[in-house]
Structure 1
Amino acid sequence: MREIYDGAEAYVGVQEVLSKIPFPPSIVEFARHSQDPELMLNDPDRIDEFIDAYLNISFSDEGRFTLMFVILDSFNSILSKDNTSRQYWNTIKMLLKEDGLFFSKLIIYYASVDYGRNLEDAWPIAPYMRSILIELVQRYPEIKDNKKKYNTLFLPEWDYFQ
């Protein structure tokens, strides 16, 4: 399995998710022409369906990554409305930990580490993701050491995650 997911593979992942999970035609069209199509598929009301699809439908690495992006963004939307909702967290955490290195870019992205210790302007999901990131950096120090590969050049606060 590849360690990370990158650029051109996003198109393949989005197409696969769209082919296996039904979305309204307007969302499909918008996602196909969007710069960040994964974010266009976010739907907090369908998070159960997305998690079920992740667990029960076979996806390529690109599809798994895209679907996890959709799940995380949907969970983030739930938290933005109710920051105390942990209903889906245990399942999401388990899935991320099973394949932490593969999902490291998503974990770093949603951990909002560029905000340092200040979570005031970070994603609502950031505290959850930071707990996973701390474990991930301990298990895979190459994430911190190979900043270019893991797209973390912008993170001067890495010392916080040791």
Structure 2
Amino acid sequence: MRHPAREAINKFNKLLNLHEDPLMQDWEVECADALRIEEFINCYRTSASTDDERFTLMALILGSFEEYHGLETPKPEVWEKIRYILSTESKLHEDHIEYYSCLETEVPEEWFPITPFIRAV
């Protein structure tokens, strides 16, 4: 399974003013911010220039979307932007898609809140 790349994490920490603690295990979860998800999507479109950067930033976007989904019903246009990226770059993001799809179980209680969205991809 592919993981966020250190150089890309460093770039986005600076670019997005994210504060990473050296003891963090999962940057994409700990830096996720539901209130900044559209900013992260825009950054993906304008500043993620390599596969490592796109993969890393998508991890942050999905972590943020999961938080966002927990706060309120997602705006269709927010999900549509994410869905479009995942669909058009599905090979690059196949690990994200597989992980959040929870294909090993059909029990919805064992899914992530965003699993139904990701499965639709």
Q: TM-score, length-normalised on structure 2? A: 0.87
Q: TM-score, length-normalised on structure 1? A: 0.67
Residue 130 (1) aligns with residue 119 (2): yes
Q: Match for residue 94 of structure 1?
A: 84
Q: Show CA shifts across 1:140-161 (max 9, x none).
A: xxxxxxxxxxxxxxxxxxxxxx
Structure 1: distance between partners of 2:23 and 2:7: 13
Counting matched residue pairs gives: 120
* TM-align CA RMSD: 1.8
Identity %: 28
Structure 1 unmatched ranges of 5 or more: 133-162
Amino acid at match of 2:15: K
User: Equivalent of 1:14, from 9, 19, 25?
Assistant: 9
Structure 1 runs of 4+ with >6 Å offset:
none
Point out the more displaced range, 88-97 or 72-81: 72-81
SS of residue in 2 equivalent to 1:113: coil
Amino acid at match of 1:110: Y
User: Equivalent of 1:110, from 76, 100, 106?
Assistant: 100
Structure 2 unmatched ranges of 5 or more: none
Question: Do the aligned residues in 1 keep the contact of 2:2 with 2:95 (CA within 8 Å)?
Answer: no
Structure 2: distance between partners of 1:19 and 1:85: 27
SS of residue in 1 equivalent to 2:107: coil
**With CA pairs under 8 Å and 6+ residues apart, which has the higher RCO, 1 or 2?**
2
